[in-house]
């Protein structure tokens, strides 16, 4: 079996498969403005160009993200940059939950907020960030990312159960059990990939470039959008067998067809 070792990503496991694209609606859930833009936005550009509907849901406004700028100023700035970045890849609905940046807590309140969005937008696919301690290349994941990723996974299933958060029915939000899978970006061991060669990657670069003030505020820790995203996409492309790709770890919420242990 060809492994990611062979493709230049040491020890990451089997070669990813193309991510299924036989769906129409996606909800992208992230902790902060710019999280989606570090790769996933290029896949979003491919999907919106194909006529799919993608909506963004941000747990915070990223108000704690710029050391030299007070949160009261940073929050509105980063919100504006997120909306601008979303437009670059064809997303016109960006929602914020206003949890506190840097100290998001896993629990019913966060899950309920995400369930509310899932029931309202009725996605077939949820895309979020890895909830593991380690991300791609063994980099330690940030606390908010871990919390939001796990909450998004749980909310994707909660959304279909009318007896979990029944108060949402009073808001007119009926259960939605139509999420087929949750795809995690930045995962240490990806299972699937999306070909973003050409225009999708270019639009993804423009999306991250929209976060100019945030990137500038990072100083030496920041990444220039074009070289960083090009390098990451080429690395993913090697794994998928294309020129440029974004990789995901896909968690299915049910069986598509008979369970694997059933004889056919």
Q: CA 173, CA 117: separation in Å to the nearest integer? A: 9
pLDDT score at 14: 82
Pairing of strands 181-185, 245-252: antiparallel
Q: Contact at 8 Å (CB) between 27 and 127?
A: yes
pLDDT tens track for 229-246: 999 999 999 999 999 999
pLDDT score at 221: 67
Residues in the chain: 264
pLDDT score at 261: 58
Q: CA 129, CA 132: separation in Å to the nearest integer? A: 9
Give every residue of the chain whose pLDDT is below 50, as ranges. 1-12
Which CA distances in Å does 104 have to 10, 107, 148, 166, 196?
A: 32, 9, 8, 23, 31
Q: How many other β-carbons are positioned within 10 Å of the β-carbon of residue 71?
A: 17
Q: CA 95, CA 103: separation in Å to the nearest integer? A: 19
pLDDT score at 260: 59
The backbone region for 243, taken as left when phi is positive above 0, alpha when psi lies in -120 to 50, beta otherwise, is alpha
E strands, 12-102, in order: 17-18, 25-30, 53-58, 94-96
Of 193, 186, 185, 111, give the one whose Cα is nearest residue 153. Answer: 111
Tokens of 202: 């270019």
Looking at the DSSP bridge assignments, the partners of residue 109 are none
Class (C level, CATH) for 23-252? alpha beta
């Amino acid at each position: 079996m060809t492994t990611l070792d062979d493709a230049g990503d040491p020890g990451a496991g089997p070669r990813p498969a193309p991510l299924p694209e036989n769906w129409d609606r996606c909800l992208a859930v992230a902790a902060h403005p710019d999280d989606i833009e570090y790769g996933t936005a290029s896949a979003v550009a491919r999907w919106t160009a194909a006529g799919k509907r993608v909506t963004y849901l941000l747990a915070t406004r990223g108000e704690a993200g710029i050391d030299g700028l007070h949160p009261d100023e940073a929050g509105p700035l980063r919100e504006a940059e997120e909306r601008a970045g979303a437009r670059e890849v064809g997303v016109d609905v960006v929602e914020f939950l206003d949890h506190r940046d840097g100290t998001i807590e896993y629990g019913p309140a966060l899950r309920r907020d995400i369930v509310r969005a899932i029931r309202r937008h009725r996605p077939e696919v949820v895309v979020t960030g890895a909830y593991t301690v380690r991300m791609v290349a063994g980099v330690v994941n940030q606390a908010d990312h871990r919390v939001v990723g796990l909450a998004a996974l749980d909310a994707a299933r909660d959304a279909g159960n009318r007896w979990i958060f029944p108060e949402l029915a009073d808001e007119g939000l009926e259960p939605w059990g139509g999420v087929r899978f949750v795809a995690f970006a930045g995962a240490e061991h990806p299972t699937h990939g999306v070909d973003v060669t050409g225009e999708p990657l270019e639009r993804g670069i423009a999306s991250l470039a929209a976060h100019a003030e945030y990137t500038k505020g990072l100083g030496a820790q920041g990444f220039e959008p074009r070289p960083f995203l090009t390098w990451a996409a080429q690395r993913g492309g090697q794994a998928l067998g294309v020129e440029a790709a974004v990789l995901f770890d896909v968690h299915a919420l049910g069986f598509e067809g008979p369970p694997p242990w059933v004889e056919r």
